[in-house]
Amino acid sequence: MNQSLINKVKQNFTTRFTTNPLLIFSPGRINIIGEHTDYNDGFVFPAAVNKGIVAAFEKSDSNTSSAHAIDFDETIKFSTDDISPLEKEHWGNYVLGVIAEIKKKKGDVGNFNVVFSGNIPAGSGMSSSAALENSIAFGLNSLFNLGLTKQEMILISQQAEHNYVGVKCGIMDQYASMFGIKDHALLLDCRSVEAKPFKIDFEDYELMLINTNVKHSLSDSAYNDRRSVCESISEMLNIKALRDATEADLETIKDKVSEENYQKALFVIQENQRAEQASKAMTDGDLKTLGELIYGSHNGLQHQYKVSCDELDYLVDQSKENDQILGARMMGGGFGGCTINLIAKSAVSDFKTKISKNYKNKFGKDCSIYSVELSDGTGLITE
C-alpha cells in the first residue's frame, strides 16, 4: 500500500549509501473524539492510518551522522555526541530531539545515517510530527539494540516535542502512531496510558477527512497557552489534572477565574465525558448518538476552547446541512487541518463534489478529501 513511498526512500538511500538499510514505517493518526483531553489525563479515541513516514537507517562508520529529508531536499549533519536544537520550526528538531531524549535514558547513542519521506498531507493535523519522532526512536532502538519498550519510545518522542520543538503536547499522537491496530480505533486512557481497541466497522457509514489546507500560525503558542490554563485551574482545584474535576467542582471557583478560562476548563470536562460516551455508543452500534457527540465536540472546540477557525467551522456547518452526515468536527490541535466526518457511504460522492465547489467559492482555495484506512502502528518493514 505504501510501496511507492518505500521504493522512493530505498532508491534515495541507495544513491547515498552502499548498505542494505533498516526500514521503518510509522503512521499518522486520526482522532474520532476526545480533543485536548490527553494533557488533562483524560480519554481520547485515535487510530493510526495508512499514511505515514518511511525511514531508512544504517549505522555510520564515522563519527558523524546525517539525516536527509527527501520532501525538503535537505540534509543535516551532526554527531550524536553533541546535539543541540536547530532554529524553531526546522524539521531536524524532531530527529535531534529524539536522539537527545534517548541519550538522557541510555547514555551514548552511536552515529547513523537516515533518509526519510512521508505521505501525510502537510498541515493536515494527522500528526506527521509524531510519526517522524516514532520512526526515529524505533529505528535507533532497532539499529543499536537499545532495549527500549514501545511505552518508553513514545515518552521519548513526546519529550522531544516538548524540549526540541516547543509544543507541550499530550501523549495521544505518539501512542496512536506507535500502537495502532489495523481496522481498530483505540480508546486511550491518557492517565494509565493503556488503551482498549474497538474494531471499526460502521457498515453503511464511513469516516471521511476534509482538509482545509490551512494552518494558522498561532497554533503552537495557543496550544501551550491552553495547556497552562488547564494546569492552573487544576492547581486551584487542588487536583492532579482536569480529568479529576466535575462540572460542580468547577462551579466552586467560577468567580475566581475569567469566563474565558472557565469555559475552557468546562470544555475539557465535557469533552472527556463525550469520549467515554462515544465508546458506549460505539459498543451499542448507536451511530446517531456517536454523531451527535462528534458535533458536540466541534461546538465546544469552536465556542468554548476556541481552537477552531473559519475554514473548519464552514466545513462543519456544511456537513450539518446534510442529513447523510451524522457528525463532523475539527480534528487535532486546531487552527487548521482537517474535519472528520461520519458520512453514509452512499452520500460520499455527491458530498465531495458539493463541498469542493462550495469551499472553493467561499475561500478561493481547494479543500482535499481523503477516505480513511486504519493501520498498524510503527514497525519494521519486512520485504
Q: Minimum distance between the CB of residue 169 and ligand GAF, rounded to whole angstroms?
A: 3
Judged by CB under 6 A, the stretch of 36-44, 209-217, 261-269, 277-285 that binds ligand GAF is 36-44
Helix axes 92-106, 150-160, angle to 10 degrees: 130
Judged by CB under 6 A, the stretch of 35-43, 53-61, 68-76, 211-219 that binds ligand GAF is 35-43
* 123 part of the interface to ligand GAF, by CB under 6 A: no
DSSP conformational letter for 347: G
Q: Minimum distance between the CB of residue 224 and ligand GAF, rounded to whole angstroms?
A: 11
Helix or strand holding residue 260 (H, E)? helix 259-283
Among 208, 188, 219, 201, which Cα is nearest to 332's? 219
Q: Minimum distance between the CB of residue 267 and ligand GAF, rounded to whole angstroms?
A: 11
Residues 83-102 that bind ligand GAF (CB under 6 A): none
* 271 part of the interface to ligand GAF, by CB under 6 A: no
> Does residue 120 contact residue 89 with C-beta atoms inside 8 Å?
no
Q: Minimum distance between the CB of residue 319 and ligand GAF, rounded to whole angstroms?
A: 20
Judged by CB under 6 A, the residue of 24, 26, 35, 135 near ligand GAF is 35
Strand partners, 327: 342
In the bound state with ligand GAF, the residue whose beta carbon lies nearer, of 2 and 157, is: 157
Judged by CB under 6 A, the residue of 127, 141, 157, 279 near ligand GAF is 127
The residues, ordered by sequence, that sit 6+ positions from 94 with a Cβ below 8 Å of its Cβ are: 129, 132, 133, 136, 160, 161, 164, 165
173 catalytic? Reply is yes
> Does residue 212 contact residue 315 with C-beta atoms inside 8 Å?
yes
Q: Minimum distance between the CB of residue 138 and ligand GAF, rounded to whole angstroms?
A: 18
Q: What is the rounded distance in angstroms from the CA atom of residue 203 to the CA atom of residue 344?
A: 9
Matching residue, cell 519521506: 117
Judged by CB under 6 A, the stretch of 30-38, 59-67, 258-266, 280-288 that binds ligand GAF is 30-38
> Does residue 236 contact residue 270 with C-beta atoms inside 8 Å?
no
Q: Minimum distance between the CB of residue 127 and ligand GAF, rounded to whole angstroms?
A: 6
If one counts every other C-beta atom within 10 angstroms of the C-beta of residue 180, the result is 28
Strand partners, 25: 54, 379
User: Helix and strand tally (H, E) in the chain?
Assistant: 11, 13
Helix or strand holding residue 368 (H, E)? strand 368-371
Strand bridging mode 368-371 / 205-215 = antiparallel
Residue 349 corresponds to which cell in the numbers above? 460522492
Residue 35 corresponds to which cell in the numbers above? 480533543
Judged by CB under 6 A, the residue of 2, 24, 38, 67 near ligand GAF is 38
Matching residue, cell 465535557: 270
Q: Minimum distance between the CB of residue 256 and ligand GAF, rounded to whole angstroms?
A: 26
Number of chain residues interacting with ligand GAF (CB under 6 A) = 11
- Determine the Cα angle at 36 with ends 306 and 228, to 5°: 80
Residues 166-185 that bind ligand GAF (CB under 6 A): 169-170, 172-173
Judged by CB under 6 A, the stretch of 31-39, 55-63, 69-77, 297-305 that binds ligand GAF is 31-39
* Residues belonging to the chain: 383
Residues 340-379 that bind ligand GAF (CB under 6 A): none
In the bound state with ligand GAF, the residue whose beta carbon lies nearer, of 38 and 58, is: 38
Judged by CB under 6 A, the stretch of 89-97, 164-172, 214-222, 288-296 that binds ligand GAF is 164-172
Residues 274-333 that bind ligand GAF (CB under 6 A): 332-333
Q: Minimum distance between the CB of residue 368 and ligand GAF, rounded to whole angstroms?
A: 19
> Does residue 173 contact residue 192 with C-beta atoms inside 8 Å?
no
> Does residue 184 contact residue 374 with C-beta atoms inside 8 Å?
yes
* 36 part of the interface to ligand GAF, by CB under 6 A: yes
**Active site members:** 173
Binding residues for ligand GAF (CB under 6 A): 35-36, 38-39, 127, 169-170, 172-173, 332-333
